[in-house]
């Protein structure tokens, strides 16, 4: 493969010393390939040289001409000098000023030809001036009269290649000490070293089908476009060259996911043979209500997966309250009826305990053996529990993710259900597969993941979606209030509690300001106790001991507490149908998806519910946009798309731990269609055995390098 130039470390480029190499490294740029896949932020059309006579104040213009005279000029400020030049073309003259760049006297000399790009300004009453333009000196007057267009082609012969002016110019984001100017030079140098037969991971049929250029051409055009390239399209990242590279980026990533999926699918120890009438009857017996169509469909897809020769890798998406738990439990019953073990994992102990209570309620009177395994299980209990799991006596183990981390050995674990995927990532899922036996894996997420993000985060999985909510739910009314109108919020709480309902008041709790946040929540609990002497108010926060938390949650769930002041530990999954008010304090500090989660805590019963988003004035534009979006939509999928737009994919899951891979060129919002295409092409090629060994090897090497932790194959 002659693509090795791309793997050259950047310090081997001329002009990249140790300092710049270190700066580039800090920005994640190690190799020539990294550099070339770091696209310009935008492009400026500096190709059309303008006659000086026609320049207007305020316009950005490219000008070419001869330096008539130039000199360093002192100013009244000590150490502040200007370098000025008078430049002339066939049509007229213009004054050019570079503040504080006296060294230019060694670069720009009289009679030299220069190309300039900058903003035209009025120069006193005497004419026009350009201040601090980008410029290049030209050895030879490139026979460009002021009227002709400059060619953007790398010029041959005596005329030096112009990178910064007189062409469509790439503008890069500054990287530490590496300016956009330097980066242009490095990129150009790297492009010149690319071999003609540069290895291309994108199959030629795909290139042909879309009219896309080769990899080498695309890289050149994405950085130094031809003179006739459409600048608007370039700035939308919508030229064939750019689209091809964005596709490549997605394709390589998706091919990695598809390869992993394919390889995971090879070995399987346990499999549910058939679903018999007895199994169905067993499931029906525990069913507390009629499943919605969406639930039935999802269950159908899951059970079909469980009967296949290869393990299930399925994501179950459904809005908060859509009723995912029962679907998972019914799938668990199918596995248990076939004599297998099941693990159900939640991100927090509170949630694991809640699942345990729910499941125990549903399975009451059945013969299934269910146990809870969290960090709170004592050593003594563990001594009995773990061997019982290993012997297969326990059929369903409910716990936190510690279930994976701890060395819990199962006898025949056939199904793993992971609740609340957004606390979990691609990487952790890898750890699960390593548990051996390749169990069926069902991941449930209550944060509806926009399709594009699902494809990146979970492109190795199949997706089931439960649309809509179980019948009888009333939409939650959402209002936004400034902190100053707190009295109205209290009045609402009082009225609802008087009707027998309960209220949540949620405080943000972020690590950086944990102590302050906790104090605020504590103070609020005290204030409310004073405001509502007739109500029972309690505080719930993550620092409390497990059994204290449990006691508070139980009291709230049982209706003996009226108002629960909580830090965002209640964010996910907690189910108290009688609660009808959710007050979110400092709502401006929460992300949209988080707010949607919180709002999903209410409106779970048959009562009218209200969510009040209280913000601390003044709010930022961003906060206003978020809170208004919340008030105007109830659809988790719509909100998730909006959240992705506002926050970008990196922040979407709120944590770094999500293991969201860094894409180099693509943008999940802008390039959704290319991502879909990459997903289907990659999967079809991998499943059909049509991905060449060379491309496979390349994909593996990129995954190894970029995503380190994950190994494919
Ligand atoms: P989530 O999808 O957010 O995990 P849950 O599984 O906690 O939702 O379900 C939310 C609530 O809706 C629970 O109280 C559950 O018992 C109830 N529920 C689920 N499915 C149905 C249904 N088909 N009919 C009536 N209630 C349902
Ligand atoms: Mg849930």
State the pLDDT confidence band at 310, using cuts at 50, 70 and 90: confident
Centre of ligand 2 to C-alpha 328, Å, is: 10
User: Whose alpha carbon is nearest atom 18 of ligand 1?
Assistant: 323
Cα–Cα dist 376/394, whole Å = 18
pLDDT the model gives residue 434? 53
Query: What is the three-class DSSP state of 310?
Result: coil
State the pLDDT confidence band at 284, using cuts at 50, 70 and 90: confident
Centre of ligand 1 to C-alpha 444, Å, is: 13
Ligand nearest to the CA of 325: 1
Is 695:203 a contact under the CB 8 Å cutoff?
yes
User: Whose alpha carbon is nearest atom 10 of ligand 1?
Assistant: 321
Q: Is the pLDDT of residue 480 over 70?
A: yes
State the pLDDT confidence band at 660, using cuts at 50, 70 and 90: very low
HSE, CB side, 13 Å, CA atoms: give it for residue 436.
Answer: 6
State the pLDDT confidence band at 433, using cuts at 50, 70 and 90: low
pLDDT the model gives residue 684? 94
Cα–Cα dist 150/49, whole Å = 7
- Residues contacting 599, CB < 8 A, separation 6+: 320, 476, 478, 582, 611, 630
State the pLDDT confidence band at 261, using cuts at 50, 70 and 90: confident
Centre of ligand 1 to C-alpha 389, Å, is: 29
Cα–Cα dist 306/311, whole Å = 7
Q: What's the chain's length in residues?
A: 713
- Which residue among 325, 330, 331, 597 has the greatest number of ligand 1 atoms within 8 angstroms of its CB, and so is best to mutate? 325
Report DSSP letters for 582-625, one per residue: EEETTGGGS-HHHHHHHHTTSS-SSS--EEEEEE-SSPPHHHHH
Q: How many CB atoms lie within 10 A of CB 483?
A: 13
Can you tell me which residue has the tokens 């050149």?
220
Q: Which residues line ligand 1 (CB under 6 A)?
A: 289-292, 295, 318, 320-326, 446, 470, 575, 577, 604
Domains of the chain: 48-166 (2.40.50.140), 277-466 (3.40.50.300), 477-633 (3.40.50.300)
Query: What is the three-class DSSP state of 129?
Result: strand
Identify which has the larger pLDDT, 509 or 314.
314
Q: Is the pLDDT of residue 155 over 60?
A: no
Q: Is the pLDDT of residue 426 over 60?
A: no
Q: Is the pLDDT of residue 435 over 60?
A: no
Report DSSP letters for 415-483, one per residue: EEEEE-GGGS-HHHHHHHHTTSS--EEEEEESSPPPHHHHHHHHTTSEEEEE-S--TTPPPPEEEEEEG
- Look up residue 619 and give its two tokens: 């709010």
Can you tell me which residue has the tokens 């009045």?
491
pLDDT the model gives residue 277? 83
The strand pair at 462-466 and 313-318 is best described as parallel
Q: What average pLDDT does this structure show over 205-229?
A: 95
Cα–Cα dist 568/577, whole Å = 18
Q: Is the pLDDT of residue 280 over 60?
A: yes
Centre of ligand 1 to C-alpha 321, Å, is: 5
Centre of ligand 1 to C-alpha 361, Å, is: 14
Q: Is the pLDDT of residue 142 over 70?
A: no
Centre of ligand 1 to C-alpha 228, Å, is: 59
Is 329:400 a contact under the CB 8 Å cutoff?
no
Centre of ligand 2 to C-alpha 250, Å, is: 31
Burial 448-463 (b: 16+ CB within 10 A, else e): bbbbbbbbbbbbbbeb
The strand pair at 93-99 and 81-88 is best described as antiparallel
Centre of ligand 1 to C-alpha 629, Å, is: 25
pLDDT (tens digit, 9 = 90+) per residue, 344-363?
A: 998 777 788 889 999 999 99
- Residues contacting 519, CB < 8 A, separation 6+: none
Angle at 355 between CA 349 and CA 360, to 5 degrees: 125
Ranked by mean pLDDT, the top range of 124-133, 663-672, 690-699 is: 690-699
Which of 181-185, 432-436, 548-552, 596-600 shows the lowest per-residue confidence on average (mean pLDDT)? 432-436
pLDDT (tens digit, 9 = 90+) per residue, 106-141?
A: 889 999 888 888 999 988 776 889 999 988 877 654
Q: Is the pLDDT of residue 267 over 70?
A: no
User: Whose alpha carbon is nearest atom 16 of ligand 1?
Assistant: 323
Of 390, 455, 433, the closest CA to residue 644 belongs to 455
pLDDT the model gives residue 210? 97
The strand pair at 168-171 and 42-45 is best described as antiparallel
pLDDT the model gives residue 422? 53
State the pLDDT confidence band at 651, using cuts at 50, 70 and 90: low
Of 254, 237, 256, the closest CA to residue 246 belongs to 237
Can you tell me which residue has the tokens 């297998």?
340
pLDDT the model gives residue 454? 73
pLDDT (tens digit, 9 = 90+) per residue, 545-590?
A: 777 877 888 788 889 999 999 886 555 456 788 999 999 999 998 8
Neighbours of ion ligand 2 (CB under 5 A): 573
Give kind and range of the element (H or E) at residue 581: strand 579-584
User: Backbone dihedral region of 639: left (phi > 0), alpha (psi from -120 to 50 degrees) or beta?
Assistant: alpha
Average pLDDT over the chain reads 84
Ligand nearest to the CA of 293: 1
- Residues forming beta bridges with residue 65, ordered by sequence position: 114
User: Whose alpha carbon is nearest atom 15 of ligand 1?
Assistant: 323
Identify which has the larger pLDDT, 84 or 375.
84
**Is residue 182 exposed (0-12), middle (13-18) or buried (19+ Cβ within 10 Å)?**
middle
Identify which has the larger pLDDT, 446 or 501.
501
- Give phi and psi for 313, each to the nearest 5: -135, 85
- Which residue among 297, 321, 476 has the greatest number of ligand 1 atoms within 8 angstroms of its CB, and so is best to mutate? 321
Ranked by mean pLDDT, the top range of 164-178, 179-193, 308-322, 637-651 is: 179-193
Q: Is the previous residue joined to 302 through a cis bond, with omega within 30 degrees of 0?
A: no
Q: Is the pLDDT of residue 222 over 60?
A: yes
- Residues contacting 337, CB < 8 A, separation 6+: 278, 279, 282
- Look up residue 446 and give its two tokens: 């209550």
Can you tell me which residue has the tokens 């009269």?
145
Cα–Cα dist 295/461, whole Å = 19
Q: Rg (Cα) of the chain, in Å, rounded?
A: 32
State the pLDDT confidence band at 473, using cuts at 50, 70 and 90: confident
The strand pair at 60-74 and 313-318 is best described as unpaired
User: Whose alpha carbon is nearest atom 17 of ligand 1?
Assistant: 323
pLDDT the model gives residue 574? 67
Q: What average pLDDT does this structure show over 170-195?
A: 91
Query: What is the three-class DSSP state of 45?
Result: strand
User: Backbone dihedral region of 131: left (phi > 0), alpha (psi from -120 to 50 degrees) or beta?
Assistant: beta
């Amino acid at each position: 493969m002659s693509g090795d130039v791309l793997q050259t470390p950047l310090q081997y480029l001329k002009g990249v010393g140790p300092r710049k190499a270190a700066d580039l490294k800090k920005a994640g740029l190690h190799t020539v390939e990294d550099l070339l896949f770091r696209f310009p932020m935008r492009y400026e059309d500096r190709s059309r040289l303008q006659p000086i006579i026609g320049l207007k104040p305020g316009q950005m213009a490219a000008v070419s001409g001869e330096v008539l005279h130039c000199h360093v000029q002192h100013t009244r400020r000590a150490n502040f000098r200007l370098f000025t030049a008078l430049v002339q073309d066939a049509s007229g003259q213009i004054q050019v000023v570079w503040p504080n760049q006296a060294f230019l006297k060694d670069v720009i000399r009289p009679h030299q030809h220069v190309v300039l790009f900058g903003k035209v300004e009025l120069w006193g009453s005497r004419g026009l001036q350009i201040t601090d333009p980008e410029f290049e000196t030209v050895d030879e007057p490139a026979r460009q009269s002021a009227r002709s267009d400059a060619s953007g082609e790398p010029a041959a012969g005596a005329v030096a290649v112009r990178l910064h002016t007189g062409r469509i110019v790439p503008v890069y984001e500054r990287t530490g000490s590496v300016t956009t100017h330097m980066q242009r030079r490095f990129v150009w140098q790297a492009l010149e070293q690319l071999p003609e037969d540069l290895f291309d991971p994108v199959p030629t049929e795909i290139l042909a089908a879309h009219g896309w250029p080769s990899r080498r051409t695309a890289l050149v055009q994405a950085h130094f476009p031809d003179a006739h390239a459409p600048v608007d399209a370039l700035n939308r990242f919508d030229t064939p060259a750019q689209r091809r590279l964005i596709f490549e980026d997605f394709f390589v990533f998706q091919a990695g996911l598809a390869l992993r999926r394919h390889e995971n699918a090879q070995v399987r120890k346990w499999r549910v043979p058939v679903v018999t009438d007895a199994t169905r009857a067993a499931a029906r017996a525990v069913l507390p209500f009629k499943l919605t169509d969406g639930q039935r469909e999802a269950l159908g897809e899951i059970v079909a997966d469980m009967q296949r020769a290869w393990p299930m890798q399925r994501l179950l998406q459904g809005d908060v309250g859509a009723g995912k738990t029962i679907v998972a439990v019914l799938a668990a019953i199918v596995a248990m009826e076939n004599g297998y073990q099941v693990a159900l994992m939640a991100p927090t102990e509170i949630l694991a305990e809640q699942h345990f209570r729910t499941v125990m309620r549903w399975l009451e009177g059945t013969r299934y053996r269910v146990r809870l395994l969290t960090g709170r299980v004592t050593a003594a209990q563990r001594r009995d529990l773990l061997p019982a799991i290993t012997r297969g006596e326990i059929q369903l183990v409910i716990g936190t993710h510690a279930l994976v981390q701890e060395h819990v050995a199962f006898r025949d674990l056939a199904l793993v259900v992971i609740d609340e995927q957004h606390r979990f990532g691609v990487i952790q899922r890898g750890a699960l597969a390593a548990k051996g036996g390749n169990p069926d894996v069902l991941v449930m997420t209550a944060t509806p993941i926009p399709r594009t993000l699902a494809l990146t985060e979970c492109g190795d999985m199949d997706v089931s979606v439960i649309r809509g909510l179980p019948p009888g739910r009333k939409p939650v009314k959402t209002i936004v209030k400034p902190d100053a109108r707190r009295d109205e919020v209290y009045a609402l709480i009082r009225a609802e509690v008087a009707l027998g309902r309960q209220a949540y008041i949620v405080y943000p709790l972020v690590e950086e300001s944990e102590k302050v946040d906790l104090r605020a929540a504590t103070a609020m609990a005290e204030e409310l106790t004073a405001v509502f002497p007739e109500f029972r108010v309690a505080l719930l926060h993550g620092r409390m001991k497990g059994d204290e938390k449990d006691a508070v949650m139980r009291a709230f769930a049982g209706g003996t507490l009226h108002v629960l002041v909580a830090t965002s530990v209640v964010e996910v999954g907690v189910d108290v149908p009688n609660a009808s008010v959710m007050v979110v304090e400092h709502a401006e500090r929460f992300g949209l998806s988080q707010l949607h989660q919180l709002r999903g805590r209410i409106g779970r019963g048959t009562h009218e519910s209200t969510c009040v988003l209280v913000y601390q004035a003044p709010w930022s534009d961003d906060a206003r946009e978020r809170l208004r979006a919340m008030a105007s939509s109830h659809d988790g999928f719509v909100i998730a798309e909006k959240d992705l737009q506002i926050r970008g994919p990196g922040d979407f899951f709120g944590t770094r731990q999500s293991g969201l891979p860094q894409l180099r060129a693509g943008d999940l919002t802008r390039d959704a269609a290319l991502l879909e295409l990459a997903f289907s092409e990659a999967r079809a090629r991998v499943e059909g055995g049509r991905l060449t060994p060379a491309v496979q090897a390349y994909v593996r090497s990129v995954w190894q390098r970029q995503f380190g932790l994950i190994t494919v194959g």
